[in-house]
Amino acid sequence: MLNASEYSRYSRHLLLDDFDEHAQRRLSNAKVTLFGVGGLGCQVASALAAAGVGEMVLIEDDVIEISNLPRQWLFTEKDIGQKKAEVARTRLLAMQSACTLHCITNFNDIAARDAHLTTSQLIIDCTDSFTSRLAINALAVTHSVPLISAAASGFIATATAFNPEISGPCYACPEYNSEQSLTCFEQGIFSPVVAIAGQLQAMMALSYLSGIHNPEWGSLHHFNGQNLLMRQFNIQKNPDCPTCSKIHRSEDHAHSL
């Protein structure tokens, strides 16, 4: 199943309980669409490529700035001014030449984005605003693709997995007041905190894609970097959710016809 080189490369995975060659092969057959290659995205993309995920789509229109370097570890001083997605692709291929990497550097290229979403097993949201998270959540619900969303500002990291295929909540269900969201621009960010948020996403993604276990869909994992406490909350499904209730209602209506 795995060749000798793969067997050697992934030997420490294969020693894990419940993780076998089939699980590793599921990773190499997986396709993931990743929105954002900043603090979260650098962590997730590196972890997934190194672990053997076979295909990734990197959607990011930003360029590298000097203020990114303390936490966006795929980039170096020489990369300042270059497109994040393209530099990340080069670095990830050096790490894992077997990975197929697509870059979309224009958020308005909806045709290319949607073509990839329809063939992706997982969406990972590594963007940096409520506005973009709500939009990506709507895409996940519309295309019925599981979504792993995380965020970090100051000393706080959060991460949640959502699955539109089960009747759980979506990212929009809590109806957060998105106009008052706190981002790294207002609060700053402690580099290890965003790394922890990204690695929580990677942990959930690799567990799900390899088939070793599903994340707890709809559980918000909350990490406080000041006291190192990790807490877990359940997000209540909102029957009046502005996003998922409309999609489900239209499906229910279609089924009743």
Partner 1 sequence: MRIHCNDEQLEVPEDCSLVSIIQRFNEQEGALAVAVNLTIIPTSRWQLQTLEEGDVVDIFTLVAGG
Residues serving a catalytic function are: 184
How far apart are the C-alpha atoms of 103 and 89, rounded to whole Å?
7
- Our finding on whether 180 is near partner 1 (CB under 8 A) is yes
Q: Please report, as residue ranges, which positions from 138 to 177 form the binding site for partner 1 (by CB under 8 A).
A: 150-154, 156-158, 173-177
Q: Please report, as residue ranges, which positions from 30 to 49 form the binding site for partner 1 (by CB under 8 A).
A: 36, 38-41
Yes or no: say if 196 and 230 are a contact pair by the CB < 8 Å rule.
no
Q: Please report, as residue ranges, which positions from 192 to 211 form the binding site for partner 1 (by CB under 8 A).
A: 194, 197
Six token digits for residue 59? 């959607």
- Our finding on whether 183 is near partner 1 (CB under 8 A) is yes
- SS3 of 75-140: CCHHHCCCEHHHHHHHHHHHHCCCCEEEEECCCCCHHHHHHHHCCCCEEEECCCCHHHHHHHHHHH
156: closest CA among 105, 230, 218? 230
One residue of 8, 187, 214, 250 binding partner 1 per CB under 8 A: 187
Stretches 18-26, 60-68, 94-102, 231-239: which one binds partner 1 (CB under 8 A)?
231-239
Stretches 5-13, 55-63, 78-86, 234-242: which one binds partner 1 (CB under 8 A)?
234-242
DSSP-derived letter for residue 64 is: -
Nearer to partner 1, 103 or 124 (CB): 124
Task: Report the half-sphere exposure of 99 (CA within 13 A, side-chain side).
Answer: 29
Between 106 and 145, how does the x/- string for binding to partner 1 read (CB under 8 A)?
Answer: --------------------xxxxx--x------------
Longest dimension (CA), the chain: 60
Nearer to partner 1, 103 or 184 (CB): 184
Interface with partner 1: number of residues (CB under 8 A): 46
Amino acid (1-letter code) at residue 245: S
Hey, is 24 helix, strand or coil?
A: helix
Nearer to partner 1, 120 or 127 (CB): 127
- Our finding on whether 245 is near partner 1 (CB under 8 A) is no
The two beta strands, 219-224 and 156-162, are: antiparallel
One residue of 22, 185, 226, 250 binding partner 1 per CB under 8 A: 185
Site residues (vs partner 1, CB under 8 A): 36, 38-41, 126-130, 133, 150-154, 156-158, 173-178, 180-185, 187, 189, 194, 197, 220, 222, 231-236, 238, 240-241
